[in-house]
Amino acid sequence: MTIFPRQALADDLAARLLAAPATSASGSGLFLAAPRRTGKSTFLREDLRPALARRGAVVIYADLWADKTADPGDVIVAAIRAALAQREGVVTRLARSSGLDKVSVGGLAFSLDRVGLAQGVSLSAALAALSDEAQAMTVLIVDEAQHAITSEAGANALFALKAARDELNSSAHHGLRVVATGSNRDKLAMLRNSKDQAFFGAPLVNFPPLGPDYIAWFISHLPFRQELDADQVYQWFSAAAFRPEILGGAVDALLYDLAVRPGQFAQRLHQLIQEQVRASNHEALRVVHSLTPLQSAVLRVLAASGAGYAPFEAQTMDRYRATLATIAPDAKVEPETNNVQQALVALQDKALVWKAARGVYALEDSFLAELMQQAGMLPA
């Protein structure tokens, strides 16, 4: 099975983005928030990108999660360089403006390596050249944008984009819109709440999950479709937090379930969906169960504190101590700034905890707090 197209949604969003006046921050950017695995990246790549391109926009796509070891700043710069490289005219323009006009160009005299954050050619200058060459609106899509503020270079890239946004939205060029996505509203909010941020004031919109039309499409591909009621399957999908993979996994298991007889498919599918949800929850908690007592205590206190988490305050140290006393009374670890720091680094390495460059910590996936709560793992 392939991908269910969401063209109407893409067209609607594309039209709004390109029509919005850029007189304010809210006109030049948009944040889309939705939980993980609900189809954001797929929508950006399969639906929104083509919808924008059909309307003549130049689209640049940077996925800050595609390679978790890559610095988010580098990923943004690389995506912009790749877009520049696709137009020979842009390279010529940049070469000229760098005083290389006497050299025969063809891309050889000017290396795109010079475009970057602390390099000769700023992102702003590069995007302006692209805008002038294409004579069209540029749309930069940053997937999992919250990762931009986990590194210095990423934060710098955002400042550079703010400058680019102001430049391209001036009357001299053809406009820049930035679409950012993320799975965590709190983290995205950090990107748009302070005046010095590139996205200050950009609206934060809940990205809609796949709906009944997707379910109808999904069912229509199944050999046992006549046994299924679309409304009911939609309810199961909703209980599975709108994750297509849960549905897909259940169907895969059902297709090879040799014991299931005609008339039993609906009931069996429901069971398998519930099993997939349990397995996925179990998998998420498995990592938590493998932590050292101190790491576990730090994670639990962080998860219970939410946005108010202050890792090294005396009160927080008391909470680690109390948590340790309940989960590992014999562990004999005394929480101190040093080992708490180490525990936080280990939790980041395990992709459980996210740290902004300014030292703010949060759960990588806010859903984990819910799971830990249900499992009785959170301190009061």
Ligand X SMILES: Nc1ncnc2c1ncn2[C@@H]1O[C@H](COP(=O)(O)OP(=O)(O)O)[C@@H](O)[C@H]1O
Residue 367 in tokens:
């859903």
Least distance to Mg ion from the beta carbon of 34, Å?
9
Q: How far is the CB of 351 from ligand X (least distance, A)?
A: 14
What is the pairing mode between strands 204-206 and 361-363? unpaired
Helix segments in 69-151, DSSP class H? 72-85, 88-97, 123-134
Q: Which one, 34 or 90, has the nearer CB to ligand X?
A: 34
Q: Choose one: 39-47, 207-215, 291-299, 353-361; the region binding Mg ion (CB under 5 A).
A: 39-47
Residue of 28, 41, 138, 295 interacting with ligand X (CB under 6 A): 41
Residue 300 binding partner per list ligand X, Mg ion, none, with a CB distance cut-off of 5 to 8 Å that depends on partner kind: none
285 within 8 A of 372, measured Cβ to Cβ: yes
Number of neighbours of residue 279 by Cβ within 10 angstroms: 12
Our measurement of the distance from residue 364's CA atom to the centroid of its chain's CA atoms, rounded to an integer in Å, reads 11
Cβ closest to ligand X, residue 145 vs residue 210: 210
- CB closer to ligand X, 42 vs 150: 42
Q: Distance between alpha carbon 11 and the CA centroid of its chain, in Å?
A: 21
User: Interacting stretch for Mg ion, rule CB under 5 A, among 33-41, 72-80, 96-104, 338-346?
Assistant: 33-41
Which residue in 17, 29, 40, 72 binds ligand X (CB under 6 A)? 40
User: Hey, which residues between 200 and 229 contact ligand X (CB under 6 A)?
Assistant: 210
Q: Is 355 helix (H, G, I), strand (E, B) or coil?
A: strand
When the beta carbons of 36 and 114 are compared against ligand X, the nearer one is: 36
Among 26, 42, 339, 342, binds ligand X (CB under 6 A): 42
By the rule CB under 6 A, 38 interacts with ligand X: yes
> Which residue in 57, 55, 77, 75 sits closest to 66, CA to CA?
75
- CB of 295 closer than 8 Å to CB of 346: yes
Taking CA atoms, 77 is separated from 68, 96, 121, 188, 312, in Å, by: 16, 21, 11, 20, 35
Which among 163, 196, 157 is positioned nearest to 180, based on CA atoms?
157
The one among 12, 229, 245, 313 contacting ligand X by CB under 6 A: 245
Exactly one of 28, 38, 41, 276 binds Mg ion (CB under 5 A); that residue is 41
Q: Which is nearer to ligand X, 36 or 350 (CB)?
A: 36
Measured CA distances, 228 to 10, 86, 233, 236, 297 (Å)? 29, 48, 7, 12, 45
Per-residue binding letters, 298-337, with ligand X (x by CB under 6 A): ----------------------------------------
Report, in Å, the least distance between residue 221 CB and ligand X. Answer: 10
Residue 61 binding result from Mg ion, ligand X, none, given CB thresholds of 5 to 8 Å by partner type:
none
Nearer to Mg ion, 40 or 300 (CB): 40
Give the DSSP H/E element, type plus range, for residue 349.
Answer: helix 337-349
**Do β-strands 353-355 and 361-363 pair in parallel, antiparallel, or remain unpaired?**
antiparallel
Q: Pick the piece of the chain touching ligand X (CB under 6 A) from 1-9, 103-111, 129-137, 299-307.
A: 1-9
Smallest gap, in angstroms, from Cβ of residue 289 to ligand X?
A: 24
What are the phi and psi torsion angles at 304 (to 5°)? Answer: -75, -30
Tell me the closest approach of the beta carbon of residue 143 to ligand X, in angstroms. 7
Partner whose footprint covers residue 245, from Mg ion, ligand X, none (CB < 5 to 8 Å by kind): ligand X
Is residue 280 within the footprint of ligand X (CB under 6 A)?
no
CA distance 128 to 266: 56
Q: Render the burial of 22-46: b for 16+ CB within 10 Å, e for the rest.
A: beebbbbbbbbbbbbbbbbbbbbeb
Contact 94, 121 (CB under 8 A): yes
Catalog residues that contact ligand X under the rule CB under 6 A.
Answer: 3-4, 6, 34, 36-42, 210, 244-245
Catalog residues that contact Mg ion under the rule CB under 5 A.
Answer: 40-41
